[in-house]
Amino acid sequence: MTTPDFQQSYFQLFSLPRQFALDNTLLGERFRQLQGQLHPDRFASKSAHEQRIAVQYSAFVNQAYTTLRRPLDRAFYLLQLAGMSAEEVSAEKIDGGFLIEQMELREKLESIADLVEPETVLEHLILEIAADIKAHEQEFVAAFTADDISGAASACVKMQYLGKLHREAEQIESGLLD
Amino acid sequence: MPHENKRAVGIDLGTTNSLVATMRDGAAKTLADAQGVVSISSVVNYTDPQRVRVGVEAQALASEHPADTLASIKRFMGRGNEDARDEAHRSHYALNDGEQGMVGFETSSGVVSPVQASAEILKALRSRAEQTMDGTIEGAVITVPAYFDEAQRQATKDAATLAGLPVLRLLNEPTAAAVAYGLESADEGLIAVYDLGGGTFDISILHLHRDVFEVLSTGGDTALGGDDFDRLIADWVLTQIGSPELVAGQHRTLLSLARDAKEALSESDDILIPLGEIGTGFDPLSLSRTQFDALILPLVKHTLRACRRALRDAQLAPDAINNIVLVGGSTRVPLVRAAVAEFFQREPLAGIDPDEVVAVGAAIQADILVGNRPEGELLLLDVIPLSLGIETMGGLVEKIVERNTTIPVVRAQEFTTYKDGQTALAVHIVQGERELVADSRSLARFELRGIPPMVAGAARILVSFQVDADGLLSVSAREETTGVRSSIVVKPSFGLSDEQISGMLQASFSHAEEDKNSRILAELCVAAKQLLEGLEVALAADGDDLLKPGEMDALRAQMEKVQAQLTGGNVEALRTASDQLGRDSEAFAARRMDKSIRQALTGVSLDDVSEEVSE
């Protein structure tokens, strides 16, 4: 199995600026343009070798698209381009205040089923978490633009914590709705 | 390149009925038999070892020979004996303890696998198509439920191979349905495809943008469908009449009465079930639509839960959906339509027959893939329905490719040894959303050997997963410090091995050795010519641009070697030369891909986007 050796970054692949702010519509358009050329279905009646290479290229474009489309993955990727591995990012120190907030949010979430009107409370909680995520995205952008890589990494880890909490809250919500 | 159209078909291999469609006079149409019936009952009878019967003919023998008459075969595709036991018991089939835990039905003609039985249905469809189209089928798109796992997809592909059908692509049924509608109404936006067939339920959320369909998420249940509605009615009837013991044949009759009742209740509010057909002493029983609705409500709610999950995976609210496409005969049930409309707050589309829409979409896609249309017309980007991972310490699953990831996909993850001096690593590939291996589906195992002895944790073993556009998986493992590698194309534990397939093919053709050789030679010749033609076109377009003169000469020389072997009649020499040419041309093909990436984005100037901040 040969893997296509792309020297270019995912941002270069889609001709987009290397930054956190992203034009999602443009990303989607360019993604579809590229897949229009590279997808293995375009090679369905070609030789097996061409098909195999198309799978590799198409997979690379998919990977790039998925990474850039999700804010958290995009943040991790920007840090990676700045020379920081995922492990290094995860090892970044987080201030105690944030961790206490996290524990409080989590406790709220765990006791939600006992409430009289869990749906309403949960809905508010989900909105609160989503707003928190946005705030830390801004924190990330500010630090990253100022070349404060360690600060950006710390914001990234916080986004990760909150993202996990957000998913759990949504799962509980779907459980309540069922 | 010849301009005449190639014969391509779309096949909906269904649990209850199967259909074949093709492009005729610019429109996709299902092909009917002499009586004008488009669907073939997905039933195969093995009572006469000399003659396998398919369709209505087989159905007619169901009551008399229940164990020989296989229906709902799709439910057994790619399933192990353990999975299939309950299902078989309900259908009154005798299961044989097949090799590798594979399902085998005991029939009067010997043990039959679900793959073989499905192949019989595909053969019937193939011969119908070849008669109508007057020639050999050159390519087929076969649809599978989006929720089909690896093993089930592989089993479907095996059945097609066995039936002598060249598969262009396995296509998810809901995607096919959207293709059928998408091309006719040229919609843009978000589409939910609600597919309640005889034996499976699928919900897919698709994004249509210009020529590209993107599957955002899928969900469903491979063991829920209209058959369950029939079963609920049958169970209800049994309770009402005091649960008498029925023999297998009587049970079949009851199920068929239940089906008639279900269909009649789509039109009437009240019906009478003629239980006298089961045997003497049974009186007719009345059933109202209200009663029926109450029976099936839990199942309908179950489908809506899956809809909610799929929407969440796509991060959408129900009212964001622009169009709902209904697929499958069970969507004719009024309660189902009403529940779907209420959930999405919108009336579903019903312009195309819900029983034919999948085959119609598959035919359109087959026409494109076989090369009958100019390129760039329509592209389907699918996702994998279930997460793929490997077993780690303590029986836990480490997910490597998450469900709903767009395919094709290549993902790699690094692992290490956990004992000093460990020289081998067992890789166990599993599928599913659960955290424990015990709760997941085992797909395959292989071993990476020859790791040099090191202290625990020093080896760096990279495990790569590659899923192609059909959703089929290959896995490789490599120890990074030494480059020792091992790989496997995942042939799920319950599928057929290549040897088994070729064995069956040989048995079914019973050709003499020379015949077999000449067939292989003919196939090789076709492939080699295809490779040569493709390269000629590529060289003419990009050869001067992308190849150094030396490279061009080397490639030309190898092309001549292949050309020379085309008429030589030597299987091995042709194979060796073709394989070599394939490898030699890989770098050139890769450069062409790079070039087409650059070209795809021409008009996009890098200066435009250099430093500006866009939102």
Given this model, what pLDDT does residue B312 score? 85
Please check the confidence at residue B184 and state whether its pLDDT lies above 50. no
Given this model, what pLDDT does residue A3 score? 45
Residues A55, B468: C-beta atoms closer than 8 Å: yes
Among B68, B158, B173, B355, the active-site one is: B173
Q: How confident is the model at residue A14 (pLDDT cuts 50, 70, 90)?
A: very high
**Which one-letter DSSP state was computed for residue B332?**
G
A32 in contact with B at a CB cutoff of 8 Å? yes
B497 and B100 in contact (C-beta within 8 Å)?
Answer: no
The chain-wide mean pLDDT, for chain B, equals: 82
The residue among A50, A60, A73, A166 with the most chain B CBs within 10 A of its CB, best to mutate, is A50
Query: Cα distance from B581 to chain A (closest Cα, Å)?
Result: 10
Domains and CATH numbers, chain A: 10-69 (1.10.287.110), 88-177 (1.20.1280.20)
d(CA A71, CA A133): 10
Which chain A residues contact residue B534 at CB under 8 A?
46-47, 50
Residues B476, A177: C-beta atoms closer than 8 Å: no
Query: Cα distance from A149 to chain B (closest Cα, Å)?
Result: 19
The chain-wide mean pLDDT, for chain A, equals: 86
Residues B405, A62: C-beta atoms closer than 8 Å: yes
Instruction: Tell me, yes or no, if B173 is annotated catalytic.
Output: yes
Q: What are phi and psi of B16, to 5 degrees?
A: -100, -45
Given this model, what pLDDT does residue B500 score? 52
Instruction: Tell me, yes or no, if B586 is annotated catalytic.
Output: no
**Cα dihedral B64, B70, B75, B78 sign:** positive
B169 in contact with A at a CB cutoff of 8 Å? yes
Query: Cα distance from A93 to chain B (closest Cα, Å)?
Result: 25
Q: What is the 3-state secondary structure (H, E, C) of chain A?
A: CCCCCCCCCHHHHCCCCCCCCCCHHHHHHHHHHHHHHHCHHHHCCCCHHHHHHHHHHHHHHHHHHHHHHCHHHHHHHHHHHCCCCHHHHHCCCCCHHHHHHHHHHHHHHHCHHHCCCHHHHHHHHHHHHHHHHHHHHHHHHHHHHCCCHHHHHHHHHHHHHHHHHHHHHHHHHHHHHC
Task: Report in angstroms the alpha-carbon separations of B589 from A5, B187, B368, B371.
Answer: 13, 35, 22, 19
Q: How confident is the model at residue B192 (pLDDT cuts 50, 70, 90)?
A: very high
Q: What are phi and psi of B311, to 5 degrees?
A: -65, -40
Please check the confidence at residue B507 and state whether its pLDDT lies above 50. no
A9 in contact with B at a CB cutoff of 8 Å? no
The encoded tokens of residue A98 equal: 């944030």
The encoded tokens of residue B524 equal: 């090789």
Higher pLDDT, B164 or B208: B164
d(CA B605, CA B434): 46
Per residue in B356-384, pLDDT tens?
999 999 999 899 888 887 655 667 777 77
Given this model, what pLDDT does residue A177 score? 57
Among B120, B149, B158, B195, the active-site one is: B195
Contacts of B256 (CB under 8 A, 6+ apart): none
Given this model, what pLDDT does residue A90 score? 85
d(CA A48, CA A40): 10
Please check the confidence at residue A154 and state whether its pLDDT lies above 70. yes
Residues pairing with B205 in the sheet:
B192, B217
Say if strands B8-13 and B139-144 run parallel, antiparallel, or are unpaired: parallel
Among B68, B74, B123, B149, the active-site one is: B74
Per residue in A97-122, pLDDT tens?
888 888 888 888 888 877 777 778 88
B322 and B189 in contact (C-beta within 8 Å)?
Answer: yes
Which helix (H) or strand (E) segment holds residue B284: the answer is none
Give which of B376, B380, B381 is closest to B596, Cα–Cα: B376
User: What number is the average pLDDT over the span A161-167?
Assistant: 90
The encoded tokens of residue B562 equal: 């292949």
The residue among B300, B373, B593, B607 with the most chain A CBs within 10 A of its CB, best to mutate, is B593
A14 in contact with B at a CB cutoff of 8 Å? yes
Query: Cα distance from B263 to chain A (closest Cα, Å)?
Result: 29
B530 in contact with A at a CB cutoff of 8 Å? yes
Q: How confident is the model at residue B55 (pLDDT cuts 50, 70, 90)?
A: very high
**Cα dihedral B141, B142, B145, B146 sign:** negative
User: What number is the average pLDDT over the span A150-167?
Assistant: 92
Given this model, what pLDDT does residue B102 score? 64
Given this model, what pLDDT does residue B57 score? 92
Which of B410, B583, B599 is closest, CB to CB, to A3? B410
Q: End-to-end distance of chain A based on CA atoms, in angstroms?
A: 45
Higher pLDDT, B130 or B172: B130
A39 in contact with B at a CB cutoff of 8 Å? yes
What is the distance of C-alpha A145 from the center of its chain?
19
Instruction: Tell me, yes or no, if B498 is annotated catalytic.
Output: no
User: What number is the average pLDDT over the span B257-262?
Assistant: 94
Nearest chain B residue to A21 by CA distance is B615
The residue among A12, A46, A126 with the most chain B CBs within 10 A of its CB, best to mutate, is A46
d(CA A116, CA B400): 40
Residues A39, B211: C-beta atoms closer than 8 Å: no
Per residue in B275-285, pLDDT tens?
988 888 888 99
Query: What percent of chain B is predicted at pLDDT more than 70?
Result: 85
Instruction: Tell me, yes or no, if B277 is annotated catalytic.
Output: no
Which chain A residues contact residue B531 at CB under 8 A?
47, 49
Higher pLDDT, B1 or B161: B161
Residues B600, A39: C-beta atoms closer than 8 Å: no
- DSSP E strand boundaries for B197-281: 201-209, 212-221, 270-273
Please check the confidence at residue A45 and state whether its pLDDT lies above 80. no
Contacts of B404 (CB under 8 A, 6+ apart): B216, B217, B218, B313, B314, B383, B384, B385
Domains and CATH numbers, chain B: 388-495 (2.60.34.10), 511-600 (1.20.1270.10)
* Longest CA span, chain B: 89
Given this model, what pLDDT does residue B172 score? 84
Q: CB contacts < 8 Å between A and B, how many? A: 146
Query: What percent of chain A is predicted at pLDDT more than 70?
Result: 93
Per residue in B566-578, pLDDT tens?
887 788 888 888 8
Q: How confident is the model at residue B434 (pLDDT cuts 50, 70, 90)?
A: confident
User: What number is the average pLDDT over the span A66-91?
Assistant: 91
B410 in contact with A at a CB cutoff of 8 Å? yes
Nearest chain B residue to A24 by CA distance is B615
Query: Cα distance from B272 to chain A (closest Cα, Å)?
Result: 35
The interface predicted TM-score (ipTM) is 0.74
Given this model, what pLDDT does residue B601 score? 64
Per residue in B85-135, pLDDT tens?
666 666 667 776 655 556 788 888 888 889 999 999 999 999 999 999 988
Please check the confidence at residue B607 and state whether its pLDDT lies above 50. no
Given this model, what pLDDT does residue B606 score? 37
Which of A14, A39, A177 is closest, CB to CB, to B469? A39
B527 in contact with A at a CB cutoff of 8 Å? yes
Q: Look at residue B385 and give its three-state secondary structure.
A: coil
Please check the confidence at residue B613 and state whether its pLDDT lies above 70. no
Per residue in B146-155, pLDDT tens?
777 778 888 9
